[in-house]
Structure 1
Amino acid sequence: MSKSSGPLGFGTGLLHSVKDKASAVRVLRQAQDEGVTYFDTARLYGEGRCEGMLGEAFSHMRDEVILATKVGILPSARDLATRVKAKAAATLRRLPMLRPLIPEPPVQYPQFGVFDPARMQESFETSLKQLRTDHVDLLLLHECTLEDVQRTEVLEFLDQMVRQGKARAYGVAPRAEDMLSIAASCAPYGDVAQFDAALRSAFPPAGADTPPLIATHSCLGQRFRDRVVQLKTDDQLRDSWSSALGREAGDPATIAQAFLAHAIQQNPGGIVLFSTTQPDRLRTNLDAQALLNSPETSAALAQLMAAE
């Protein structure tokens, strides 16, 4: 990438749960004000709404942010006709006399594995429109498999987007097991690998090349949540963590900093994605890197996480 980024990037997968669009845009702008330049999104997130939030937040300062989006999963249908029909059916079914006559509205699900060139093109053009830009910095294949990556038409599509200037670079964002399969195959997949942070210590597998950029996500997942519960109930463990970190480990924000710092530690030179819907937590999360400033604390953190 020609633009620079710190070790932490902002993932937008939860952004649609903010109470309204204006508040979500404020969170994004505050993240950028606090120093975040890398923002990750996808057509899937918020049923397509999260890209629009990024577009509103940064269209006036496009050159100051790094945007990564994805193709391969389409959100459930949200067009006006579909929504009107579903709402009408739900309303009519509230009347006991009509309930047996009106079928229940079908559940709308995302479409996975959408890697044919025509639909990838349509999806990506929609992303660009929502993001209010003529290009993204990174275009990733969302939850792709080795079979998807090995299809000639898939890589030809990605190469074409780069040649046309609509994407500066491309890569993959698969599930952990698929990431290992793709890397071990030595099949070309671009310049970026994005995957669960839990996989980082095993990546790349033996004999595989390291891509120019590795982005990890979900370091504040179930493992983090389990540790928060344990530290609330186990005094001895909490004292051990507090001593190692030099701060009270009963505070979930401190534990989050430790997990983020460890993810940065495991992914040198890469990007660690985090997300929050609460503006007051942004600075706390971004301060995680400070834990690595002290060699003693950095070593203690590595020992704590090795014992996980």
Structure 2
Amino acid sequence: MIDMNINHPPPSDKPSPAPVGAVERLLSRRSGPLGFGTGLLHQIDDPASAVRLLRQAHEQGITYFDTARLYGEGRCEGLLGEAFAQIRGEVILATKVGILPPARDLAIRLKGKLAATLRRLPPLRGVVPPPAIRWPEFGVFDPARMQVSLETSLRELRTDHVDLLLLHECTLEDVRRAEVLDFAEQTVRQGKARAWGVAPAPDAMLAIAASGSPYGDVAQFDAALHPAFACSPSLTITHSCLGTRFQETLFRLSQDAQLKDHWSGALGMEATTANVAQGFLAYAVWQNPTGLVLFSTTRPERLRPNLDAATLITTPDQAAAIAALIAAE
């Protein structure tokens, strides 16, 4: 069995995050290997509960929080601002430009609610058209709108700067445009961001890294690119290690008792959903030992197990066993 308390204080004590040199150098303070992604935060119906979850994450040792204008149609940044405005110096805040959420002005929201209400009445269902579907706007990399997006983020986050500004789902063509590079570098010079980088889709990340074009100090990308992919920014951040492959694995475990036994042996504990999730998260940390790995949750009780996952893998042999199980078709 693997001792889940290795290098951890008693559960009642706040853990001391392991230093990550690039984070401290770029973003002014330390962070452990795990960061909190806020992409699911808006799924918590009660804003006070969402704010409480963020504060609990910080109390348990998380200092790095990732967000974007897109998340929750702009609401997630506001929740972070409410949670940490009074302790801004204790957290690292990263946000993004490049994708704008659907417009949320009062007239549009009222019109949509009215249409939805009227369509509940049988006589009007065939007369009143359904509310229009509102889509985010991608590829917003012109300087004027990037500036508006950043200023909106700062206002929502209740701060005068972010620690990291990322270009959200940018392409190689976006990164090569002089006006995009100038905007990012000027944002750092003005003190509105401490560092900048890219957060592209996997194919775009491969193209950007291979191009030789500058793309800031940070690369944030899907954990599925490891271990075949390598890049050399000052800081690498990975995300989505509990994505499609994890869901496929859970399904296979429900059908294959032998596979479940293999997972239990690799983990050193029963291959429950929560423990397999720890294995995926632990392997993402193992792959990115000097960077950060993002996780998301809406459940406070998942914070501690996620933090424990950072030290679940203790040997190369265990890492290889978990890697083989993750890669298995």
Alpha-carbon distance in 1 for matches of 2:256, 2:123 = 57
* Residue pair 2:201, 2:221 contacting (<8 A) in 1 also: yes
Q: Deviations over 1:86-141 (max 9, x none)?
A: 22333344556656665443211110100011110001100000001000000000
Matched residue pairs, number? Answer: 303
Report the CA distance shift for 1:18/1:95 in structure 2 as closer, same or farther (over 3 A).
Answer: closer
Residues in 2 aligned to 1:240 and 1:88: alpha-carbon distance in whole angstroms:
54
Give the whole-Å Cα distance in 1 for the aligned partners of 2:280 and 2:134. Answer: 35
Q: CA deviation at 1:12?
A: 0.4
CA separation in 1, counterparts of 2:298 and 2:232?
Answer: 33
Q: Does the alignment pair 1:43 with 2:69?
A: yes
Deviation at 1:157, TM superposition (A): 0.7
Q: Distance in 1 between matches of 2:113 and 2:327?
A: 51
CA change 1:93–1:212 in 2 (3 A) is same
Q: Do the aligned residues in 2 keep the contact of 1:262 with 1:305 (CA within 8 Å)?
A: no
| Gap regions ≥5 residues in structure 1 | none
Q: CA-atom RMSD, angstroms?
A: 1.7
Q: 1:19 deviation in Å?
A: 2.2
Aligned 8 A contact 1:143 1:173 in 2: yes
Letter in 2 for 1:176: P
The letter of the residue matching 1:160 is Q
Contact kept in structure 1, 2:278 and 2:306, CA below 8 Å: yes
CA distance in 2, matches of 1:234, 1:306: 16
Question: Hey, what does 2:141 align to over in structure 1?
Answer: 115
2:44: which partner in 1?
A: 18
Matched letter for residue 57 of structure 1: A
Cα gap change, 1:295 to 1:189, in 2 (>3 Å): closer
CA contact 1:135–1:167 (8 Å) conserved in 2: yes
Task: Check 1:252–1:97 CA distance in 2 against 1; reply closer, same or farther (3 A cut).
Answer: closer
The answer (yes or no) to whether the contact 1:55–1:132 under 8 Å persists in 2 is yes
Give, in whole Å, the separation in 2 of the partners of 1:233 and 1:106.
41
TM-score after normalising by structure 1: 0.93
User: Structure 2, unaligned stretches of length 5 or more?
Assistant: 1-25
Partner of 2:4: none
**Residue aligning to 1:287:** 308
Q: 2:222 aligns with which of 193, 196, 202?
A: 196
1:263 aligns with 284
In the alignment, the residues of structure 1 paired with residue 259 and residue 281 of structure 2 have an alpha-carbon distance, to the nearest angstrom, of 19
Separation of aligned partners in 1, 2:125 and 2:240: 43
Matched, 1:254 2:275: yes
Aligned-pair distance for 1:48? 0.3
Residues 1:224 and 2:238 are matched in the alignment? no
Kindly state the Cα deviation for residue 291 of structure 1 after the two structures are TM-superposed.
1.3
Distance 1:122 1:299, change over 3 A: same
**1:245/1:90 Cα in 2 relative to 1: closer, same or farther (>3 Å)?**
closer
Q: 1:291–1:297: 8 Å Cα contact kept in structure 2?
A: no
Letter in structure 2 aligned against 1:64: E
**Matched AA of 2:312:** L
Q: Sort the Cα spacing of 1:202 and 1:102 in 2 relative to 1 into closer, same or farther, 3 A.
A: same
Distance 2:124 2:139 in 1: 38
Question: Does the Cα contact within 8 Å between 2:266 and 2:322 map onto a contact in 1?
Answer: yes
